[in-house]
Every structure is written in C-alpha cells, then in structure tokens.
Structure 1
Amino acid sequence: MVYNQLRTYRTHIICVSGFFLLFLIFQFFGSHQILNGRQKSSPLPTPLHQKESAIVHHAKPLKLDSAQDLTPESESQDLESLLRGNEDEGWAQGPECAPYPRFEDLRFPNNPHFQLTQHDNLSYYLYGAYYDRRPRIAEVMVLAMVTTCEGPYPSTHLQMWFDGETVPELVELHKTKLAWYKDWGSRPGMAYPTLLTFQVKSQRIPQLVSLVFGDPCAVPQNALRIAQPPAPEPPNPGRPLRTGVCVKYLHFPDVDMSERFVEWLELLRLLGVERVFAYDIDALMPNTSRTLRHYTKSQGDGLLELRKFQFHADTKENDRFQRVITEVLLYNDCFYRNLYDFDFLAVMDVDEVIMPVGSEHPTWPAMLEELQSRDVNCTARSSFCFRNVYFPKELPPPEDSSVPQPFYMLRHVVRVAEHLNPALAVKCLHNTGHVTLLHNHFALEWMEACGPHDVLPDLGQLQHYRHVDNVKTLEEPPPQRDGNIQRFQQQLIHNALAVHRQLGWGLAAY
C-alpha cells in the first residue's frame, strides 16, 4: 500500500528533491565565492559596502533623502560608495599614471571628518574641498590642518577626477594660504588651518580630488568629494542682499542654553539673517540639542544648519590653543560651503549680535545697502567690520524693565560707555564675492576689492553679552543705557514665546 502511494506521488517527490538539491548547490558555491573573494574592510562604523543596493556605478553620486541633513558620516559613506562603484568599473587598475583612489588606501584617524596623509615629517589632516569660480581662472581649494605654520611645504599636486572619466587632470599647487600668524602662537606638532589652492585647467568642475606629494602620478591615499555649486545667477540689481551667519562649534555641556538660543536665533531672523551655520561636537545638554533641532531643516524651517564635527586630535593637551586654531578651520569651511548662497556672511559667537543703530536701517540688508552707498571711494569692499561694545551681566537690567525673565538680551540694555578700539575684537560681515581667507575677527585675504571697512558706531555695532576684559569699565566712564534692541522687543517676544509653546515649555510665569 505504501509502495502504491509512493508511486502515485513520485512526480511531486522528484520535483521537491530536485529543488532542494539545487538550493544546496547554490548555497555551497555562493559561500565558496564569498570566502575566496577579496575582503574589503572599512574604518567607518556602518560601512556602506555591506549593502549591495547602495553601491553606486558609473560615478553617479549617492542620492540621499532631501529631508536628511548631510553629515560628515553620511558624506564618508557617499565617498565610499562612489569609490567602490568606480572600482567595480576597473578604474583602480586604470592608467599607469595616477590610478583611481581606492577606499582601502584612505586613512581616517579614528575620525570620519578628516583624512590623514603624510609626507616626511608633515601631517595633513584633510577636511574639505571646494570649487571657487570667482577668480579669472577657477580654483579648487583643499582645506586642511597641517603640522607647520611656517613651511617649507613639499612639492604638491592635485589629481582632479571628473564624472565618467578614467583619466585625471594633474594640477600643481598654485598657492598655500595659512589662516594663522606665527606671532599669535605656535607649538611643535600642532596642526594649523591651511588652504591649498589649485587652478583648474578646464571649464568643468571636478567630482573628486586627491592630494599627492612629489610625483604627480603617485598612488593617492586620500579622496575628497567636491560639492557641486549651483549654476551662476544672472545679474539682478534689484534682489535684496542675502545674509547668513557662521558659528564655531557649540560647547555648552553644563548649562541649558535653550532660552538664550531661541532669543538669539529669533533676533537674527528679524535682522534679516536667512541661515545660521554651526558645528555640533556633542557637547550640549539634551534640552539644548532638542531646541536647536527645532530650527533645522528636518524639524523646522531650516534657519539653522548643524554639522557634526570632531576634533582631528585629542584636545586634552594644549586644549585651549587647539580649540582656538580649530575655530579658524571651521569658519573657512562654513564660508566656502555657503559661498554661492549669500552675499555677506558674518562670523559670530552665540553671545554676540551685529546690531544696526537707529531705526532708518533696521536690518542687515538695509544697513549693508546704506554702507555701500556711503562707501564712495571703493567699488567693492571685502568686509564691513563693527566695533565691539560689552553688555555685561554685572550691569543689572533697568528697574523699569518689564521684559520676561527668559529674554537675556532684551533685559540687558545697559552697556559700558566706550566701544573697543576698532583693531580689537571686531566682527565683520564678509563679502562672499571677494573674501578668500578668514580669521575669527577679520578677513586675512581678499581679491579685487578694498580692504575691511571700519563701521562707525552711529550706523552699527557689535553687541557682546559677556564679562568685560577691564573691570574698571564697569564704573568709569559711567555705563549707559542702550536700547537699540528694544525696537524688536514686541515682535521678538511674540516670536520666541511661540517657539516656547511649540517646544512645550510652561508659560504661566510669562
């Protein structure tokens, strides 16, 4: 009986057995191929090459969700995807001169934000690459921290790779721009912000560049993506000036800065600022981080762009000095990342605001137009710089103040009597059409423009909400009331409290 049943279902049994045997053969050869294939390691925490669907072929860039902020980590994964996609095309074995960079040859010093390349006793921590179409001959700039502030620098070339091409353009170093003066301080082994410029021979924009030393055909050990700039805009004299702000890394691990940030950001919005660009080093209290995320593109209107950052070296030793010189790197990165989006960019701290004086020109664009109209001896100005004046917390709010407690700047309207010397602690609005190198307080280099202009306090000033450098100024000359900010008081309180409600803060006390 059993025999007859087996004969009845033998066709089905044979089919099932055959499929099972084919499945075992496929599994065996698939595993054998993986075990014997070339293994690819990655220093990144979640290597993109482990996801077959993410591999990019034919040098096409990885497409990210438009709502997702592009972080250095995602940019590194995008870079890996690009390199491995072109490696699949055989580019890495390409011509005898300058083979296409391989991801395995890149060195990330325990940090996805920098790539390390070395020559003799110099270390180059490469941070970014940018395309500058402003000069008569377009340039590519490589921004790095280099372990010398006086040179000499080795013979340097840039291998420029273009989309879809397997042969690079080789370009010799045009100029080294150090964003630091040795007189400000130097220490052995410390790395300094440096901008390496290369002139582009063709009219095209490279997709990828590699820095090499000595032999221009050397095997590259680094690869930097170049953000593709927008198409040039036709002249539009009637368009309002666009202004933005560059801020250094945010370091407030022990104090909740939420209320201060809301007041500061909403004030900048009223002043005509379109975007604030800052760096997140994971040194914020949870509520501060939540507050700032409210302003980012993913959760808000995009007034704030936060970019993750990690120092290239341990900051415990030489901590203060290392952090100061790293600020300069970030200001230049911010400037070149936003080069085509704004007409003027300010470099400021979060306890500062460039404040127009008087009511005739209440916003930055209006004030800049007035400054340009007054600047009759100069067809183009690199920067407009504003004198520093302190609004210290040691000078209490006026007794008649009815401003709610969360509004620090609106409550502190008493300042020291005198502005600082125009050569000290100024902050500037930098013309993106002409500035080429920045420091914290002023432009170090510019092209085809007059130098920085000292703005007289009757038109604008840098209001600095911190302690004074000289305690005598708290008494002599007698401090004075300065209510320039109060013309924004009603709208600023209204806008800020609306944000407080959205964040779920209690309002009974207000």
Structure 2
Amino acid sequence: MRLPPISPRRSFYIIVTAFTILTLTWYKDSSCMKFPEISDLEYAATSWQLLSLENGSVYFYGAYWDPRFEEPLVRILVYSDVSPLPKLYCQLWFPNDNEPQTELATPVYGWQTAWYGPVMGVNEPYILTCTCRRHPPEKEVAPVAVSVVTGPCGETSNVLNIQNAPFSKHINKRTGMSSHRNDSPIVVCLKWLHYRNDISTSLVEWLQLIKHFGADEVYIYILRIHPNLRKVLKYYVDQGFVVVTGFDHAPQVSGLKQSRSTRDFHDLRRELLPLNDCLYRNIMQHAWLLAIDLDEMIVPPANKTWSSMIERLIANTTNGQENKPLDALVFQNYFVIDGAQVDLEGPAKTRILSHTWRADAPSPPGSMEKSFVNTSSIIAMHNHQPLVCHEPCSVKYVDAAGPGRLLHFREKCSYNEKDCPELHDVVKDDTLGSWRQTVLEEIKHVLQILDLDPLE
C-alpha cells in the first residue's frame, strides 16, 4: 500500500517507531511475534494506521497510558466499519524485551446503542482497552508501544507509541493517581476547526474569555482553516495557552449508500475522536475537562472563575455516595439569537460580548447541554455528557439559577418554524459585562499585533 505524504504527525510516529526498534534490541527470530518494520505499517490516511479484516477495516488513531484504576491499562482510539467487532489482541512492547506480551483487548463502544448503532459498513468509534500488568517474574514497567492483531500470534501492520507512559519508572502494585497526577484545574477541548472563512476575531474573543475564566490550556484540532486563523493559533501556541493538533478523518471505504440525513447523523460519531484524544492526553494533567464549541460559553458568576464556580457547586452537592467522585457538572443550554437582540453592548464583530438578550427558558432537558467532566473517572467522552464512566456516571445538573450559565450564540433559530421562543421570549443577561471592557481592549491588542482587521 502506498504511504501518504509525510506529515508532522506521521513523522512523529516514524521517529517513535525507529526509537522503539532500537530499544527492543534483543528481538529473537524464534518468536512468532515480530516487531513491525516501518515498511510493514499500513496507513489509511495521514493520521490513521490500518488493520484490514475480511469484511472491513479497523483504523487506529492513538494509544494512551491509563493508570487511574486498579490495574494499569492501555487505551487505543479506533474506528471500525465491522459489526460486531471481532476479537482483537494487544501486543505490548516493553523496553529491552525480546518479544511482546499479548493481552485480549476489551472494546468499549464510544456511542450509544440506543442511538442506532453499531451499524455494519459505517465507521463506529471504539476504545480498545488492554491490561498491561507484567507477567511474573518481569519487573513492573510501562510498555513503550502497542500493536493490535487478530490472533495471539498474529503479524502486525500497525504500531502506536503509548502516550503519557512513564517509561523510566517502575509501577507500584496499585498505580494510584496521587503520585503521578498534576491537577492543574481545567483544560478546554475544541473538537475541530473547519473554517474556510476568516473568523479570527471570534476566535480571539473566545480564547481571551476562557483565559479570564481560568482555563489552563486549550486543545484545538484543525482540519482546514483560513490563513488568518493559523496566525491567531500560532500566537496562542507561542504563549503556551493553546495546543494545536492537525487532524483528518478516518476514510469511509464502505460502499453503503446513505441518504444525506443518515450520513450527517453518522458523521456525529466522528466528533468523538478528538474529544477522547483530548481526554486521554490530559488525564494526568488536569482535574476537569470542558468540551465546548466556538459559539458556546459557560459564563461563571461576575468576576469569578470556573474553578471557584466548580468548588461552589461541588460543596452544595450530595450524590449519596461518600467515596464516589462527581463525574460531571451539566449545564442547560440557553440560546442567544442574533435576531433577538434589542441592542448591542459592544462591536458587532464580538458576538459573545455584545449580545446580551438570551432565551428566557433553557432548551429541553438532554438538548444542547455541556458539561465539566472529571478526568479521574471518565472513560468515553461525548459532546454533551460523559458516555462511559468507571462506575455508573454520577452527574449534577446545575440549577437554572446557577452559579454559571451556558450561553449558545446562534445566527438564527435552530427550529424549522418561522417563529420560535428564543426570538421573542428573551431577557437581558449582562453577566459578561464585568469582563467586557478588559477583554475588548485585549482583542484590539491581539488583532493589532497580528495585523488583522480591527474591530471597528
């Protein structure tokens, strides 16, 4: 199979693969399991390695070290168009070992069966989970790489470096979080940017606000973006505030014909991969994760931060289980529609800061919600709430009175009807007023530095 052009992400994998090959210096030809050469690897797209099956494919994106629970685990983010998913095995490659340790992979379905899945011929998200506890008498160390095969002694066409693994450290009998975890408060995940038009002012506004609210880092995935957006992202990357990851979708090679509405519904599954990648890259770095879009903002009480808001919400929560952490804080959605604005409190190009007339009533329960999720317990992410937790998910629905409110800024009503409540049943909500002047000056400053069009 012809390999795709070299990309930064693929170059990184090649470097890691070469390093791992050099590390595994005592490979024996007598073993039935051979560490793959670079020429053995199959790529379906720039970011995706491939395992071909008789009736479909498995696409591999990334592997991650997960020490949060009783046993150390390796999690692998994959998509597959085969249903049911066949039995798969992890070949775990350890430092200075001559052959891998093979473990049966347990798939966690990254969607809901109640949402019409899995479907044969459609790429479905899974998180493959493999224990990586060493078999005696081997020392307890973390693996450096993992391959996925269809049999315990199968040849492999893929190898992934294991992100976050403590390669140089021995692992305790119970790998608790306390000795390794760096609980910086909050990471924000933006599923992807795919904008050919210039929305640089909106991106600067969004980033400056969440910086004031106390975000420690922002992970942004990009598909195709306007050159001015690249200038903005580089500015914040250089500050250490934004982490940018180039991204492409796993190919849908099935010949299954779908209507546009069905295709769009299946496309929702693709949004989950960057969110779960963001989760597993940060389980050791941040206590809370927020996945929101550029047209959304969870606004804390005036002059407060997200961290203080979360502390207040947790202090007022009793979930009936003293030793069980709260897995998510769920906020109801309030639309802020362009056509509902009676007046503007700032430049029209800064929609979040200038639009203050929101819907009086929130969206129906279960619709458009967003959550702060606890990274110590979540296994599978969704845009709105966690899908899978270590134990049954424990969530708190934030009361309409707050503290905090999710505002969703839209050009027009999301309903098909000519009229909708969000256009006429509105109230003035100027909670953002306490940040407005400061953030507007910051936006002007950033736009000037980057030689972008001014606000006015």
| TM superposition score normalised by structure 2 | 0.86
Q: Please, which moves more after superposition, 345-354 or 228-237? A: 228-237
> Which residue of 457, 472, 476 corresponds with 2:420?
472
Deviations 1:109-160 (A, max 9, x none): 2x22111102331410011111110110111111100114xx4332221110
**Judging changes above 3 Å, is the alpha-carbon distance between structure 1 residues 77 and 420 closer, same or farther for their aligned structure 2 residues?**
same
> Which residue of 457, 462, 466 corresponds with 2:400?
457
Alignment partner of 1:348 is 2:292? yes
Equivalent residues of 2:339, 2:423 under 8 A apart: no
Deviation for aligned residue 1:422:
2.9
Letter in 2 for 1:204: V
SS at match of 1:350: coil
Alignment of 1:263-342 (within 5 A): 263-281=205-223, 283-296=224-237, 300-313=238-251, 320-342=264-286
Rounded Cα–Cα distance in structure 2 between residues aligned with 1:83 and 1:330: 26
Identity %: 26
Deviations 1:260-290 (A, max 9, x none): 0000000000000011111111x21111221
Tell me the residue number matched to 2:112: 181
Rounded Cα–Cα distance in structure 2 between residues aligned with 1:503 and 1:415: 32
Alignment partner of 1:375 is 2:317? yes
Rounded Cα–Cα distance in structure 1 between residues aligned with 2:36 and 2:387: 34
Tell me the residue number matched to 2:126: 194
SS at match of 1:484: coil
Tell me the residue number matched to 1:242: 185
Letter in 2 for 1:195: I
Rounded Cα–Cα distance in structure 1 between residues aligned with 2:241 and 2:90: 35
Tell me the residue number matched to 2:172: none
Equivalent residues of 1:248, 1:349 under 8 A apart: yes
Deviation for aligned residue 1:489:
0.9
Tell me the residue number matched to 2:379: 436
Alignment partner of 1:391 is 2:351? no
**Which structure has greater strand proportion?**
2
Give structure 2 stretches of 5+ with no counterpart.
135-139, 170-175
Rounded Cα–Cα distance in structure 2 between residues aligned with 1:240 and 1:363: 16
Give structure 1 stretches of 5+ with no counterpart.
1-40, 48-70
Alignment of 1:88-107 (within 5 A): 89=25, 91=27, 94-107=29-42
Tell me the residue number matched to 2:14: 77
Equivalent residues of 1:139, 1:198 under 8 A apart: yes
Between the two structures, name the one with larger relative contact order (CA 8 Å, sep ≥ 6). Answer: 2
Q: Please, which moves more after superposition, 151-160 or 427-436? A: 151-160
Letter in 2 for 1:79: V
**What is the root-mean-square deviation of aligned Cα atoms in Å?**
2.7
Equivalent residues of 1:229, 1:340 under 8 A apart: no
Alignment of 1:50-199 (within 5 A): 71-82=8-19, 85=22, 89=25, 91=27, 94-109=29-44, 111-148=45-82, 151-173=83-105, 175-185=106-116, 187-199=119-131
Rounded Cα–Cα distance in structure 2 between residues aligned with 1:247 and 1:475: 27
**Judging changes above 3 Å, is the alpha-carbon distance between structure 1 residues 85 and 200 closer, same or farther for their aligned structure 2 residues?**
closer
Rounded Cα–Cα distance in structure 2 between residues aligned with 1:454 and 1:280: 31
Tell me the residue number matched to 1:10: none
